[in-house]
Structure 1
Amino acid sequence: MKAFIALVHRELLEHRGPFLVAPLVLVVLMVGATLLSFAFGRVDARFSGAIFAIVPTRIYEVGFLAFAMAWCLYLIGSLFFYCADGFAADRRNNAMLFWKSMPVSDFKVLMAKLTATLTLFPGLIFGVALLSALLLFAIAIVTSAINGGDGFGLLGNVAWVYVQIALSLLVTLVVGLLWYLPFIAQVGALGVVAGRWAIPLSGLLPLLVAIIEWVTLGGLSPVHTYTWRYLSERVDFKVTQGYIEHWFTTEAPFSAAAFATDLVARVDWLQIGIGAGFALAVIYLASEYRRRVNDA
């Protein structure tokens, strides 16, 4: 267990740039740009304060939701490039020789990378997302108070909104990572075999399978095959449909419990189970390839 924890910790040390340093820099730039926009009159502080005073909770809810979606997109992109690069990093920096000298199997090394992908890195982005929302909420409250609004009197309502959206973001990350697990594992396995070429290969292979189905079984085009339709539905994670789509048309406060219940009910858990099995299979095959290539 200690060796496995050390492997996960190594991933943090080697890849903290895109998952910790860069997000924190983005938060500093975002907050700095917001403060400068008020300081130099690019944003009308009186108008902003009035808006926050009129519909404070709805502004906070929509704003936090927008930031949450932005950080989710950042996480997806970062994980994609990490899996394509990080799963093959040992071969480039000769760290593989060190870990091969320890009683750690190739499968355990790759599982440590997958564990970091599903827990450590999303956790860092989740923490940064909470920090960014907290800082921007503080700016909004101060702006409202300066311009005659009851900014500080809204702290209780704002805190409740903050908790609701934060819990919803956590549920989205957990369910979303489980939903995209087979794609994450596929890119990581391709990274073991082809290194950074995993980036184009991860898109080329599904297209190749669809073309083969189209050629052998017929159809209008590769995009009208079962493979293409299945992958299109599998890639689409309908997080903004259901509860959120309905909530936008009402004046009701955002409810994390209602959101989580709706999302969990709409997710195809059978597909998640199949995806988890596929992920374990491709990681095992990649570890066997890695072991045989290293021993050769």
Structure 2
Amino acid sequence: MKQLTTLKWLLKREIWENKAMLIWSNLVLAGLILIFTLSGIFRLKDAAIKADLQADVQLNDLVTAVGHYFTSGLILFSILMVFAVYSYATGSLSDERKDRSILFWKSLPVSDELTVISKVIVALILFPLMGMLTLVLTNLISMFALCGAYAAHGVGLFSLVFSSNGIWGQIGNTLKSFPIYVAWALPTIGWMILVSSWVKSRPGMWAILIPVGVFACIAFANDAVGVKFVRDVAYALLFRGVFSIVPDSWSYHYYLTEYEQTLSLPASIQNVVLKADLSSWDIFATSDLWIGVIVGIGMLFMAARIRRGRGD
């Protein structure tokens, strides 16, 4: 019980110290999206609305456009989240050494393991959760505004838009994929926090340069080790080690799976993604995900041990 109380206190500290990245950045992006969306809605002309709604098929096209609008917002919030998580995780342990605050925190009865766990929770859960909730609220506000504008011109869209599977299906799939993201991104978060625990300066740069450098050395010996081995190393070091914090990046797993089954690369990753259900929890039955989880936990354990011996 005491550990949970301490963890709760540590989480409050992390949120307070990083509220600009965690909260305000999402609210600013949501505000910009709403400003552009509402300005476009307010410019709608009565004639334009009637022209858009001459046939039922155009109403269905409007519902499809709502889905595309959600996807566009998802991409924007995902880009913001990736940069925010990258910045936070790579500086999570190095910043406290840089400003010497580590001396204060080490004087408190708080274990290094609990400190690392609090930072993992913020990077792996709070950042994406905040982004998803802000995305959903932003889209719902936009849809209410759009339907209200059409209702003002005598066209009822509320039942059509909010009873369709388009918007609710995408929201459901986004929330359903959250546990997948948490497990899939763990090795990247573990690697970034590990680098942050021992690199004295520019941890963000080293978190990328080290795996890129190792891969470059192996790729240079391509003739000796074989192409397949190089591809596997590239996947483990670069993709799983650095880019797993990108939402839906597990789509590449399905891409490689199809390659291994057919012994030929699919025409495009887009075709594979369209066939695969990226919100399906079937990914939890793959060794790829669980090996990443184990490796990520191992790196976090190492980060806590390194922090225990560092006070510089």
Q: Which TM-score bucket, shorter chain as reference?
A: 0.7 to 0.9
- Structure 1 residue 238, shift from structure 2 partner: 1.0
1:32-47 equivalent positions in 2, closer than 5 A: 32-39=35-42, 41=43, 46-47=47-48
Contact 1:209 1:227 in 2 (8 A): no
Q: Name the counterpart of 1:96.
A: 102
Q: Does 1:237 align with 2:250?
A: yes
The amino acid of 2:89's aligned partner reads C
Over residues 99-153 of structure 1, what are the superposed CA-to-partner deviations in whole Å (9 max), with x where a residue is unaligned?
2122211122111101111222222112111111111111221232234422234
1:184-263 equivalent positions in 2, closer than 5 A: 184-194=189-199, 197-214=202-219, 218=224, 224=230, 226-231=232-237, 234=240, 235=243, 236-238=249-251, 245-246=274-275, 260=279, 263=280
The amino acid of 1:36's aligned partner reads S
For residues 243 and 48 of structure 1, the distance between their equivalents in structure 2, rounded to whole angstroms, comes to 37
Q: Name the counterpart of 2:183.
A: 178
Q: Name the counterpart of 1:253.
A: none
Contact 1:107 1:287 in 2 (8 A): yes
SS at match of 2:309: helix
For residues 79 and 205 of structure 1, the distance between their equivalents in structure 2, rounded to whole angstroms, comes to 19
Consecutive unaligned residues in structure 1, runs of 5 or more: 248-257
- Structure 1 residue 220, shift from structure 2 partner: 8.2
Q: Name the counterpart of 1:8.
A: 11
Contact 1:71 1:129 in 2 (8 A): yes
For residues 45 and 87 of structure 1, the distance between their equivalents in structure 2, rounded to whole angstroms, comes to 57
Q: Does 1:157 align with 2:163?
A: yes
TM-score norm. by structure 2 comes to: 0.77
Consecutive unaligned residues in structure 2, runs of 5 or more: 244-248, 253-268
The amino acid of 2:306's aligned partner reads Y
Contact 2:251 2:273 in 1 (8 A): no
Count residues in correspondence.
Answer: 280
For residues 271 and 119 of structure 1, the distance between their equivalents in structure 2, rounded to whole angstroms, comes to 21
SS at match of 1:285: helix
2:281 is aligned, of 264, 271, 292, to 264
Contact 2:211 2:238 in 1 (8 A): no
1:29 is aligned, of 26, 32, 35, to 32
The amino acid of 1:290's aligned partner reads R
For residues 33 and 94 of structure 2, the distance between their equivalents in structure 1, rounded to whole angstroms, comes to 33
Q: 1:53 to 1:216 in 2, by over 3 A?
A: closer
Identical residues among aligned pairs (%): 17
Alignment RMSD, CA only?
Answer: 3.2
